[in-house]
Each structure stands twice: as structure tokens, then as C-alpha cells.
Amino acid sequence: MAEVIIAADEAEGSQLAADIVASLIRAKPGTVLGVATGSSPLALYERLAAQKHTLDMTSIRAFALDEYVGIAPTHPQSYRDALRRTFTQPLGLSADAVQVPDGDPETLDRAGEEYEQKIVEAGGIDLQILGIGTGGHIGFNEPGSSLASLTRVKTLTPQTRADNARFFDSVDDVPVHCVTQGIGTILRARQLLLLAFGANKAAALAAAVEGPITSSTPASAIQLHPFVTVMVDEPAAQELRHADYYRYAYIHRPS
């Protein structure tokens, strides 16, 4: 079962999540991280960056979860550029330390396979940081995604495009397609750290953690992974049936 940690708020959850990532980097120089974009991991990245003078992060490498199709890598809302601003530069990493799927429409037929190959060549992902969509996606694996899927092109749901419209001038500017790590790709990572903050994540989170494992809730696939931490705040935890047990188990976690 996933370890579910219910933090008082996003700030505390992000700090606890940063501590998990930092201790892995300390233990394993050359750690390979899987990095999500969007809002959920931003405070985690800030807290990691705050440690860069005491924790040597120069040897880490990272793989983005996904990228939009058809917006230039230099576009401010491309995930490549978003990661440059929020992760690569603040942590002091070189640009080539962070790989992002190629969303160029001209080469889409190769994008998935090439990305999978790069992950394999890097020795696999040690820890994959995940957010969860309000419709239950991880990466951009929308409902109906195969639980065995690898990196490929997907069509974003209208709900995901509406959710992400806040980063664009209008919902019409949000790309319709993306290249995303598959659920099978995500499950190959050695450790998963899923972040969910805010009441708008409560239903999807409860379905993912406590519902049946189903492609209708792609995030429920995390239940198949042996090493998962789910970091949530109180509003995101409000629909968890076993919240009291998770709190109890956290207080009494084996040392």
C-alpha cells in the first residue's frame, strides 16, 4: 500500500516531499529524477533549490513527465521552458541534465520510443514526482489509458485543457495533444512521490488511492507500485475513507 502523508498544508507537504527527494540525492549521487510540471511540485522545487548550497545536486539528471505538442520549446508554457524556470535553473543544473519529450509535430512518430530509450540509457528513473489531474490522470495519461502504456502521443481531455487554461491566454491556446510518459513508464520508476494539494483534487485522489485499479482513473495504477508516497494537504485528503488510519500509521511509522 502507498504511504499516505496528510500534511497540515501545502507548505508543510512540500517541505516533507523535498526532504524525501533530498535524502535520496544525498544517498545516491547521480540520482535520476522524474519531474512533473504544473502547480503541485513548484514549492517542492523551491525548497530543494534552497538546499543547493548544502546539498550537491550537480550530478542529478531528470526526465520530464510530458510535453505539449506543437508549441515551441522556447514558448513560456512549453514544459521544457517551465522546467528551465522552476527546476533546472533554480537547482543550478545544466540545461542538458533535464530531458523533455519532443513535442515537435514533424517527428512525433519517433518521440515516444526515443524518450523511452533515453530513460533506459540513464539507468531508469529513481524517483518519479507526480501530480494528479482533477480527472485522475498522472502524466497526461487521461482516462482510458492502458496501464501498460509507454511514452506516446495522447489527446488531452477538455477538462485537462480547461484546468491548464490558467497558464495560457485562453483555453483555445492550450494544445490538444501531448507526448507523455505512459503509465507503464511511470510504474518502472523505482519510487513514486505523488503530490495533491487543494480540495479540487480530493475526489480524484480518493479514487486513485482507495478506488479500484482501473484505466478510468489512471492514477489508481500507483496501487500496483511497491514504493509510493502520497503527499497531500487536508483539503485534498477530505474524501479519503481511511484518513484517520493514514495519520495513525504516519505517527507510528516503522523507523
User: Residues interacting with ligand F6R, by CB under 6 A?
Assistant: 36-40, 65-66, 131-133, 137-140
Q: How far is the CB of 139 from ligand F6R (least distance, A)?
A: 4
Number of residue whose CB is nearest ligand F6R: 131
Give 52-95 as a DSSP string: TTTS--TT-EEEESEEESSS-TTSTTSHHHHHIIIIIHHHT--G
d(Cα 122, Cα 211) in Å, to the nearest integer? 34
* Packing angle, helices 42-49 and 10-27, rounded to 10: 50
Q: Of 139, 131, 167, 127, which is closest to residue 42 (Cα–Cα)?
A: 131
Q: Which is nearer to ligand F6R, 239 or 254 (CB)?
A: 239
Of 5 and 132, nearer to ligand F6R (C-beta) is 132
* Minimum CB–partner distance for residue 167 and ligand F6R (Å): 8
d(CA 13, CA 201): 15
Closest to ligand F6R by CB, 66 or 126? 66
In angstroms, give the least distance from the CB of 184 to ligand F6R: 15
Give the C-alpha distances (Å, rounded to integers) separating 111 from 103, 106, 127, 178: 7, 10, 22, 11
Min separation Cβ 141 and ligand F6R, Å: 8
Our CB check for ligand F6R shows the closer of 31 and 78 to be 78
Please report how close the Cβ of residue 183 comes to ligand F6R at its closest, in angstroms. 11
Nearer to ligand F6R, 4 or 194 (CB): 194
Rounded-to-integer distance, Cα 243 and Cα 71, Å: 41
Q: How far apart are CA 56 and CA 126, in angstroms?
A: 17
Which residue's CB is nearer to ligand F6R, number 56 or number 173? 173
Q: Classify each residue of 27-36 as buried b or exposed e, where b means 16 or more C-beta atoms within 10 Å of its C-beta.
A: eeeebbbbbb
Please state the closest distance from residue 130 (CB atom) to ligand F6R, in A. 6
